[in-house]
Amino acid sequence: EIVLTQSPGTLSLSPGERATLSCRASQSVSSSHLSWYQQKPGQAPRLLMYGASTRATGIPDRFSGSGSGTDFTLTISRLEPEDFAVYYCQQYYSSPRTFGRGTKVEIK
Amino acid sequence: QVQLQESGPGLVKPSGTLSLTCAVSGGYISSSNWWSWVRQSPGKGLEWVGEIYHSGSTNYNPSLRSRVTISVDKSKNQFSLKLTSVTAADSAVYYCAKASMSVAGLPFDSWGQGTLVTVSS
C-alpha cells in the first residue's frame, strides 16, 4: 500500500502567518488522486482540496495545493483563527485508500 | 446536499461482531457514488475500512478483508458495516463517507458525524 508521510507533525504559527504542510508518498501518486482534509476536535474530516490543487466547494482561496509524483503541499496563505486544526492528505491512486498521520496547526 | 448518519451499538464485546448502519438523506444511495466506512483511533489515525457501490460491488482494506462485510439496502437508502472477531484494536470512531464518481480521484466529499465504538467486556 502507498504510505503517506506528513510533515511536520505540528506547526506552531500565529494568525496571519503562512502555513506550509507537506505530504510525501512512498510511491508516485497521480495528482488527480490526492486530497486534503481538515479536521477540528469532535468533528468529522472535511474535504479541502482534491486533485491536489482544486478547492472543494466553499473552501476559501487562502487554501492552495500543489505537487506531483511523490511530493505534495498544502499552503494556507494567511492563517485565520478557524484554520487551526489537523490536516490530512489521502490518496486513492491505488487501493487501499490511505491517509497520512496528519499535521496539527496550532496557535503559537 | 447529501447527509450521512451512523448508528449502532457503542459497546461490543471482544470476539463479537461490530454492526453499524449509515443512513443516507438528501440523496439516493443508487446514485453514482461509492459509499465508504472510515475509522479513526488514536493509535492508527484515519483508516479506510472499505466501500460499496449500489450495485453491490465492494472493495475492502486488505488488512481487514477477512473480517469485514459491507452491504447496501436500497429500499432503506442505507448501507451497513459488519466487522467480526473484534478486539480492543477495533475500538475507534467509525465514520461513513461518500465519494462521488463525478469527481476524479473519488475524494470523500460528505461525511457522517462519526460514532464511537468501544470493544470491551
Chain A residues with beta carbon closer than 8 angstroms to that of B114? 44
d(CA B105, CA A64): 17
Chain B residues with beta carbon closer than 8 angstroms to that of A74? none
> Each residue of A45-89: pLDDT tens digit?
999 999 999 999 999 999 999 999 999 999 999 999 999 999 999
A83: left (phi over 0), alpha (psi -120 to 50) or beta: alpha
Q: What is the pLDDT of residue B70?
A: 98
Q: What's the number of CA atoms in the CB half-sphere (13 Å) around residue A66?
A: 4
Q: Which amino acid is at B38?
A: V
Q: What is the mean pLDDT of chain B?
A: 96
Query: Nine-digit cell at A69?
Result: 509524483
Q: What's the number of CA atoms in the CB half-sphere (13 Å) around residue A65?
A: 27
CB pairs under 8 A between A and B: 67
d(CA B38, CA B22): 12
> Each residue of A11-58: pLDDT tens digit?
999 999 999 999 999 999 999 999 999 999 999 999 999 999 999 999
Chain A residues with beta carbon closer than 8 angstroms to that of B61? 96-97
User: Among all chains, which residue has been given the C-alpha cell 486533485?
Assistant: A51
